[in-house]
């Protein structure tokens, strides 16, 4: 029979219980700081983003400043080819978004699928769906942007660019707000970030105007509910665009970026809107409704974020359309000033100085034309010299060489005609210079006739008439003297024809 274990005495039990209790107390004391930290941590503290996922097997990959691009195998288009076509555009777009939205934690991952089937499979579980079907989808579930290469290649370059910009805006706004940006602001900002297309924006304005006229205008609450309002996707997008366009035009992109960032900590968009804009949401919405008549009748043409692109203004400058270029640059200056972008402000300032130079040159040319029409040839020459000086500060392509030469030829012809007329007047003072005076007057008259200068031609005619009248007087004078001499000679001969003198005694 095995030996029985010794019975525990009361003393042993007390010792063991004391040790167990002490262990529990030490454990509680050691864990207290962790418990306290967990209890006091803000509920909206962002979760650290996971590391980027490795692309599936066979995908080619490359990186740009702002993105990682992964292209599915199956066509001749690999990551390098896709990046050469679209990488710079993606970087430009993400750089523009970061000027007024909080920076992203990492580069965006762009997955490019080379078939309709693979794109559909990759985007089946996408948490956000576009109101209107698109071949570029933001936040598809894998990566940040999914691209249907087959459909994208069928688009025009501008359509493809806008599809990518639309998706990039979604990615940036959703990350900046920790996914809390409401549907209306999310879709409105993405649509506003596209490059303006007049036909599409005109349709937005028409849809909003029709809704307003029919009493079906969507409220901001309707636009920003989690569930889609009972309207067509095009009407939803049009209203969302007009809402964001109002906020951009009235308060600028910087404040809108602050609103999106404020959603990180406060899920109630109305509270964030009130804090950011220092106005009640109802007041802002009322101002939006008041602005719609102006916006739907032409205000829709203004898109402040389009002013990031200075190339249209540069092209207008090269074509010599200085007033149009200045209007474009004023929008860019407003944008960069709102964002505090000193580099952009300096670049716009340089281009504005060129437009001022061009406008001054055009003013001199207009004044020179007016002087030529008034036959003020000396003033025209002075103005043309000033215009040349201004054009000399611009590129040679902007100088209207042929027009300058034509104006200069007319001015010189007018000045020369004036010099000939002055010579004719001086030479007319001496009867011996009559041939030269008449030649100078005839040259002046021919010059004025070619210029259509009736006043100069009349002055020349007066000089010629004076010369001819003087010559006629001289002819008559000499003719009279000749007749008088002949008469006197005749009288003398008659008188002499009498008896011969006889001096003989």
- Do 325 and 316 touch, CB atoms closer than 8 A? yes
Q: Average pLDDT for residues 302-326, to the nearest whole number? A: 93
Q: What's residue 395's pLDDT?
A: 86
Place of tokens 């249209």: 312
pLDDT band at 306 (very low <50, low <70, confident <90, very high): very high
* DSSP string for residues in 277-314: HTS-HHHHHHHHHHHHHHHHTTGGG--GGGGG--HHHH
Asked which of 29-38, 166-175, 213-222 is least confident by mean pLDDT, the reply is: 29-38
Q: H helices of 44-147, where?
A: 79-97, 116-122
Asked which of 25-39, 89-103, 220-234 is least confident by mean pLDDT, the reply is: 25-39
Which residues have C-beta within 8 Å of that of residue 156, sequence separation ≥ 6?
none
> Is the residue at 498 inside a domain?
no
Same domain, 286 and 338: no
The residue from 301, 318, 346 where one domain ends is: 301
Q: Average pLDDT for residues 483-504, to the nearest whole number? A: 68
Is 282's pLDDT higher than 70? yes
Range of the domain at 296: 177-301
Same domain, 74 and 97: yes
Between CA 421 and CA 440 the distance in angstroms is 6
Between CA 52 and CA 59 the distance in angstroms is 15
Is 12's pLDDT higher than 70? no
Is 439's pLDDT higher than 50? yes
Same domain, 123 and 211: no
Q: Which is more confident, 47 or 363? A: 363
pLDDT band at 41 (very low <50, low <70, confident <90, very high): very low
Asked which of 130-139, 158-167, 186-195, 416-425 is least confident by mean pLDDT, the reply is: 416-425
Q: What's residue 133's pLDDT?
A: 85
Is 6's pLDDT higher than 60? no
Q: Which is more confident, 460 or 496? A: 460
- Do 321 and 231 touch, CB atoms closer than 8 A? no
Indicate the number of domains in the chain.
4
**Per-residue buried b or exposed e for 1-27, using 16+ beta carbons within 10 Å of the residue's own CB:** eeeeeeeeeeeeeeeeeeeeeeeeeee
Q: pLDDT for 167-193, tens place per residue?
A: 999 999 999 999 999 999 999 999 999
Same domain, 73 and 122: yes
> Is the residue at 8 inside a domain?
no
Q: What is the CB-side half-sphere exposure of residue 56 using CA atoms within 13 A?
A: 11
Place of tokens 């998706």: 167
> Is the residue at 316 inside a domain?
yes
Between CA 266 and CA 259 the distance in angstroms is 10
pLDDT band at 440 (very low <50, low <70, confident <90, very high): confident
Instruction: Kindly report the backbone phi and psi dihedral angles of residue 302, in degrees, each rounded to the nearest multiple of 5, phi listed first.
Output: -90, 125
pLDDT band at 141 (very low <50, low <70, confident <90, very high): confident
Same domain, 390 and 323: yes
Q: What's residue 277's pLDDT?
A: 96
Q: pLDDT for 403-437, tens place per residue?
A: 999 998 999 888 888 888 787 777 766 766 667 86
Residue 58 DSSP one-character state: T
Same domain, 139 and 107: yes
Q: Which is more confident, 311 or 25? A: 311
Q: What's residue 53's pLDDT?
A: 62
* DSSP string for residues in 168-179: HHHHHHHHHTTT
CA-to-CA dists, residue 241 to 157, 187, 269, 289, 339, angstroms: 22, 7, 17, 13, 21
> Is the residue at 394 inside a domain?
yes
Is 224's pLDDT higher than 60? yes
Report the first-to-last Cα separation within the chain, whole angstroms.
226
Q: pLDDT for 384-399, tens place per residue?
A: 999 999 998 888 888 8
Between CA 228 and CA 224 the distance in angstroms is 8
Same domain, 56 and 162: yes
> Is the residue at 479 inside a domain?
no
Q: What's residue 142's pLDDT?
A: 87
């Amino acid at each position: 029979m095995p030996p029985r274990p010794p019975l525990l005495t009361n003393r042993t039990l007390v010792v063991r219980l004391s040790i167990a209790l002490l262990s529990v107390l030490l454990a509680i004391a050691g864990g207290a700081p962790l418990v306290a930290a967990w209890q006091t941590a803000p509920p909206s503290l962002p979760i650290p983003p996971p590391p980027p996922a490795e692309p599936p097997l066979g995908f080619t990959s490359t990186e740009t400043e702002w993105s990682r691009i992964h292209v599915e195998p199956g066509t001749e288009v690999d990551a390098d080819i896709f990046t050469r076509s679209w990488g710079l555009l993606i970087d430009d777009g993400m750089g523009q978004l970061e000027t007024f939205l909080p920076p992203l934690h990492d580069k965006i991952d762009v997955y490019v699928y080379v078939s309709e089937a693979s794109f559909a499979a990759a985007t089946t579980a996408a948490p956000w769906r576009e109101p209107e079907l698109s071949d570029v989808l933001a936040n598809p579930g894998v990566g940040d942007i999914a691209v249907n290469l087959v459909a994208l290649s069928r688009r025009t370059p501008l359509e493809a660019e806008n599809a990518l910009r639309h998706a990039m805006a979604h990615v940036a706004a959703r990350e900046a707000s920790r996914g809390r940006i409401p549907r209306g602001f999310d879709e409105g900002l993405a649509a506003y970030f596209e490059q303006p297309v007049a036909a599409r924006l005109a349709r937005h304005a028409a849809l909003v105007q029709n809704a307003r006229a029919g009493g079906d205008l969507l409220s901001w609450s309707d636009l920003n509910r989690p569930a889609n309002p009972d309207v067509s996707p095009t009407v939803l997008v049009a209203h969302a665009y007009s809402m964001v366009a109002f906020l951009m035009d009235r308060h600028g992109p910087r404040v809108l970026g602050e609103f999106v960032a404020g959603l990180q900590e406060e899920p109630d968009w109305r509270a964030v809107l009130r804090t950011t804009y220092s106005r009640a949401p109802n007041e802002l919405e009322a101002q939006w409704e008041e602005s719609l008549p102006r916006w739907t009748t032409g205000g829709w043409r203004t898109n402040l974020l389009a002013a990031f692109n200075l190339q249209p203004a540069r092209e207008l400058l090269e074509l010599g359309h200085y007033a149009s270029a200045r209007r474009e640059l004023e929008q860019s200056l407003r944008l960069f000033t709102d964002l505090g972008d000193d580099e952009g402000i300096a670049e716009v300032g340089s281009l504005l100085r060129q437009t001022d130079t061009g406008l001054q040159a055009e003013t001199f040319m207009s004044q020179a034309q007016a002087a030529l029409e008034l036959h003020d040839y000396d003033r025209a020459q002075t103005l043309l010299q000033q215009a040349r000086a201004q054009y000399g500060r611009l590129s040679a392509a902007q100088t209207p060489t042929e027009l300058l030469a034509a104006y200069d030829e007319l001015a010189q012809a007018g000045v020369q005609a004036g010099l000939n007329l002055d010579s004719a007047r001086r030479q007319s003072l001496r009867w011996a210079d009559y041939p030269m005076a008449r030649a100078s007057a005839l040259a002046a008259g021919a010059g004025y006739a070619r210029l259509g200068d009736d006043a100069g031609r009349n002055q020349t005619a007066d000089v010629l008439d004076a010369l001819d009248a003087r010559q006629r007087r001289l002819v008559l004078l000499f003719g009279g003297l000749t007749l008088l001499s002949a008469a006197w000679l005749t009288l003398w001969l008659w008188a002499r024809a009498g008896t011969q003198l006889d001096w003989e005694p």
